[in-house]
Amino acid sequence: MSKAIAWTSKRILCEIHERGMTLEQLALRNGRNPSSFRNIWTRPNSINEGIIAEFIGIRPEVLWPKRYPKTTTRIYDSLKYGPLESQKSNSASDMQVAA
């Protein structure tokens, strides 16, 4: 039984270097700004993640498992955060008179 490889930023960078490429060269080769590739470790960027993953030959979901799946919906979870107060309610802050 084989164990899944944990892809850390150092391991990804090492794999890129072993294939004779740097992040800057990879960015320029794909018509991207090299500074956007430098921020790949701290800021998600699906285009750059895809370019790196394609170069290594592994899906982006495997390289950055915490960033995937991408969620597109923004639904308020009332069970987690509690119910919102109605805009029509007479809350204490609404009842205060402006001085």
Pair 52, 12: CB distance under 8 Å:
yes
Is the dihedral angle over the CA atoms 60, 63, 69, 71 positive or is it negative? negative
- What is the Cα–Cα distance from 14 to 17, expressed in whole angstroms? 5
Q: What is the pLDDT of residues 10-30, one digit of tens each?
A: 999 999 999 999 999 999 999
Residue 1 has pLDDT above 50, yes or no: no
**pLDDT attached to residue 94:** 52
Of residues 31 and 84, the one with the higher pLDDT is 31
Identify whether 65 is preceded by a cis peptide bond (ω within 30 of 0).
no
The model's pTM? 0.66
pLDDT category of residue 2 using cuts at 50, 70 and 90: very low
We find that the CATH architecture of domain 9-77 is Orthogonal Bundle (1.10)
The one-letter amino acid code at 57 reads G
What mean pLDDT is predicted for residues 65-84?
Answer: 75
What's the confidence (pLDDT) of residue 86?
A: 67
Domain boundaries, the chain: 9-77
Tens-digit pLDDT profile for residues 36-74: 888 898 988 999 999 999 999 999 999 988 888 776 667
